[in-house]
Amino acid sequence: MIQTILAIGLGTPELIAIVAVVFLLFGATRLPQLAKSLGQSKRAFKEGLDEGEKDAEKEAKEK
Protein backbone atom coordinates (compact mmCIF):
# COMPACT_ATOMS: atom_id res chain seq x y z
CA MET A 1 0.00 0.00 0.00
CA ILE A 2 2.82 2.37 0.86
CA GLN A 3 4.38 1.70 -2.55
CA THR A 4 1.12 2.66 -4.22
CA ILE A 5 0.95 5.90 -2.27
CA LEU A 6 4.55 6.72 -3.12
CA ALA A 7 3.95 5.90 -6.78
CA ILE A 8 1.13 8.45 -6.84
CA GLY A 9 3.58 11.07 -5.66
CA LEU A 10 2.36 11.72 -2.14
CA GLY A 11 5.15 12.56 0.22
CA THR A 12 5.27 12.91 3.97
CA PRO A 13 3.85 16.46 4.10
CA GLU A 14 0.88 15.46 1.95
CA LEU A 15 0.16 12.37 4.04
CA ILE A 16 0.32 14.43 7.24
CA ALA A 17 -2.12 16.94 5.76
CA ILE A 18 -4.53 14.16 4.74
CA VAL A 19 -4.38 12.61 8.21
CA ALA A 20 -4.99 16.03 9.78
CA VAL A 21 -8.04 16.67 7.59
CA VAL A 22 -9.48 13.23 8.39
CA PHE A 23 -8.86 13.86 12.09
CA LEU A 24 -10.66 17.21 11.89
CA LEU A 25 -13.60 15.79 9.96
CA PHE A 26 -14.24 12.73 12.08
CA GLY A 27 -12.72 13.61 15.44
CA ALA A 28 -10.71 11.43 17.78
CA THR A 29 -13.70 9.51 19.10
CA ARG A 30 -14.99 8.37 15.72
CA LEU A 31 -11.67 7.35 14.16
CA PRO A 32 -11.49 3.96 15.92
CA GLN A 33 -15.09 3.25 14.90
CA LEU A 34 -14.29 4.21 11.32
CA ALA A 35 -11.22 1.97 11.23
CA LYS A 36 -13.20 -0.92 12.70
CA SER A 37 -15.95 -0.49 10.11
CA LEU A 38 -13.42 -0.40 7.28
CA GLY A 39 -11.77 -3.57 8.58
CA GLN A 40 -15.09 -5.38 8.84
CA SER A 41 -16.05 -4.30 5.33
CA LYS A 42 -12.75 -5.51 3.94
CA ARG A 43 -13.12 -8.86 5.72
CA ALA A 44 -16.67 -9.31 4.42
CA PHE A 45 -15.56 -8.47 0.88
CA LYS A 46 -12.74 -11.04 1.03
CA GLU A 47 -15.13 -13.68 2.39
CA GLY A 48 -17.50 -12.95 -0.47
CA LEU A 49 -14.70 -13.33 -3.01
CA ASP A 50 -13.59 -16.61 -1.45
CA GLU A 51 -17.14 -17.91 -1.47
CA GLY A 52 -17.53 -16.96 -5.14
CA GLU A 53 -14.30 -18.76 -6.03
CA LYS A 54 -15.42 -21.89 -4.17
CA ASP A 55 -18.75 -21.85 -5.99
CA ALA A 56 -16.99 -21.45 -9.34
CA GLU A 57 -14.67 -24.37 -8.56
CA LYS A 58 -17.61 -26.49 -7.49
CA GLU A 59 -19.46 -25.76 -10.73
CA ALA A 60 -16.34 -26.49 -12.78
CA LYS A 61 -15.96 -29.90 -11.11
CA GLU A 62 -19.59 -30.75 -11.74
CA LYS A 63 -19.24 -30.23 -15.49
Rounded Cα distance, 52 and 54, in Å: 5
Amino acid at the residue 3: Q
Among the residues of 2-11, which ranges form H helices?
Answer: 2-8
**Residue 6 domain boundaries:** 2-62
The number of distinct structural domains making up the chain is 1
At 13-59, the pLDDT tens digits run 888 888 888 888 888 888 888 889 989 999 999 999 999 998 888 88
Taking only the tens place, the pLDDT of each residue in 6-16 is 566 777 888 88
- What is the helix (H) or strand (E) element at residue 24, kind and residue range? helix 12-62
In this prediction, residue 60 carries a pLDDT of 82
pLDDT at 1: 56
The pTM (predicted TM-score) of the whole model is: 0.55
